[in-house]
Amino acid sequence: MAAPNSAQRKACWDARDQLWQCLDDNNDKTQSCQQVQGDFEAKCPAQWVKYFTKRRDFLKYKEKMQTEGFTPAGGPQVNS
């Protein structure tokens, strides 16, 4: 597969941004964004779709850790 040209990359990034906005507006309910998801998948290479999906998950996790902080799990206690 050839690398996407400038216009294809821009179309992909625009589709990604529209999907992420839709997900933000609908509290990450994917069923509300199926049409936008299909457009995103049609305009982006499959590897990019996978990467951007993982990237969004990471950014959401990072934002949660920064706003709510980290709370360790209540696992076994080790005496030192």
- What tokens were used for 26? 């609908």
Domain ranges of the chain: 8-63
**In the structure, what pLDDT confidence band is assigned to residue 77 with cuts at 50, 70 and 90?**
low
**pLDDT for residue 67:** 87
Cα distance between residue 10 and residue 40, in whole Å: 12
- Report which secondary-structure segment, H or E, holds 49: helix 46-68
Tens digit of each residue's pLDDT (9 = 90 or more) over 10-67: 999 999 999 999 999 999 898 999 999 999 999 999 999 999 999 999 999 999 888 8
32 Cβ contact partners less than 8 Å away, ≥ 6 residues apart: 22, 26
Q: Is the pLDDT of residue 71 over 80?
A: no
The residue with tokens 């206690």 is: 77
- 8 A C-beta contact, residue 42 and residue 18: no
Q: Tell me, what's the pLDDT at 75? A: 62
